[in-house]
Amino acid sequence: MAESLYVFGTGNAGAVNCYNTCFALRKEDEYLMVDAGGGNGILRILRDMNVPMSAIHHMIVTHEHTDHVLGVVWMVRMIATAMLQGKYEGNLHIYGHEELLGKVRTLCALTLQKKHCAVFDDRILFEVVADGESRQALGYDITFFDIHSTKAPQFGFSLKLESGETFTCLGDEPYNPLCKIYAEHADWLLSEAFCLYEDRERFKPYEKHHSTAKDGAQQAAELGVKNLVLWHTEDSNLAHRKARYTAEAAAYFSGNILVPDDREIIPLSASAAKDGAQNTAQGPAQKNREKESCGMESIKVGFLKVTCKGVRGEGALRYAAFRAENSTVRNLYLSLDSANGRAQSSEILKLEPGTAEENAKFAVVLPEQEWQKDSITLVLSQRDRVLNPDYDAQMEAHQENVDVPEPPKYFFKISEKVAVTVPLR
């Protein structure tokens, strides 16, 4: 059986609509588990994904934050119980840096029964690792490295899959150039994306020393990565997270982008990477269609010059990447004309705010019904922001009566519109 990435959780520390980020590498019938989230929700996820605890003999803990380590206590409790009942063969090895494993032991001692802790150092073994040290686990030669966190000591790791591909986990903080030796040219790079760059004012990633989908994509492009996995996200819009995060990343990274959901299984093979590995249906005609250019001429919309830079991706997450030159793209509005109706820009488009001097990038995620078409028609509009002349009076009415909707301060008036056909074949 080919190796697979089992995605247990994809959320950040404050996520309540999905589980905290943690995962496992499956090799044959064994699992190398990495973190366990912030509670006993991991137990239900393991059950739902048919992952028996008896098949988990190696666990990496990256750092001490609650959304990564508290689930480890539950794993220790359940596995220790199984050991005492004769239902677990072999030992459990838990890997982490010295300070972290000391805290894990303390948490267990404070919260578990003595009988559970009695198997420590006999059958539950705490394996202290140092920066740059390699250990053998599940047949992998795993190299651990300090990610140089600004908050709490945290280790990432890198290993070679059976295919010879490099698999690197960067933890849940922004990439540090000191880790370049482990991340450069990785075939698989696991990177956090706390939120979209578009939503940075809402979620404040930089103030919390986190990064965005844009940041992760830019780093992956600079590092020459093949497959980029983005997770550890906010959970305000899970229904559209995959499309929105993929679209933002696609404007900066031309490799394979994966934004998994909880309980998703991703095959780790060259063919899986090539085909998108998103656990979604895929039209056979979509394979091997990546292009350097969409084959369209640059067009002008008002003072904008828009150029299609390529049609990329596979399956449900094919996308067209564009560049808008010499413009503030806040005023660019896009919709997709199709036989199945029109999808508005808020559903399919990520716009990167720019300045008059910038070349802004954006990407369109192609809806499923568009996969098999020879081309799509995009409608680009120039829209101007107009002040609501009745705003003050409407706001006063809203403040006096909460049942009166809060008024918009601005309206948008479309001043110019142009349609463009983008070839997909």
The ranges assigned to domains in the chain are 4-279, 299-423
Tens-digit pLDDT profile for residues 354-407 = 433 345 566 666 655 555 667 766 666 666 667 888 888 988 888 888 788 888
d(CA 379, CA 381): 7
Mean pLDDT of 88-102: 98
Q: 99, 61 in Cβ contact below 8 A?
A: no
Among 1.10.1740, 3.30.200, 2.60.40, 3.30.70, what is the CATH number of 299-423? 2.60.40
Say yes or no to pLDDT of 292 above 60. no
Mean pLDDT of 7-34: 97
d(CA 389, CA 411): 10
pTM: 0.74
The separation between CA 208 and the C-alpha centre of its own chain, rounded to angstroms, equals 17
Q: In sequence order, which residues have a C-beta less than 8 Å from that of residue 131 and are 6 or more positions away?
A: 97, 144, 145, 146, 155
Where residue 110 falls among pLDDT bands split at 50, 70, 90?
very high
pLDDT of residue 28: 94
CATH number for the domain formed by residue range(s) 4-279: 3.60.15.10
d(CA 1, CA 27): 7
Tens-digit pLDDT profile for residues 151-168 = 999 999 999 999 999 999
Tens-digit pLDDT profile for residues 167-194 = 999 999 999 999 999 999 999 999 999 9
What 8-state DSSP symbol labels residue 33? E
Say yes or no to pLDDT of 3 above 90. yes
Q: In sequence order, which residues have a C-beta less than 8 Å from that of residue 184 and are 6 or more positions away?
A: 223, 224
Tens-digit pLDDT profile for residues 302-321 = 555 666 666 666 555 556 66
Q: Give the DSSP letter string of 270-320.
A: HHHHHH--SSS---GGGTT---S--S---EEETTEEEEEEEEE--GGG-EE
Q: In what order do the strands lie in the sheet with 265-267?
A: 124-128, 92-96, 56-60, 30-34, 22-27, 4-9, 265-267
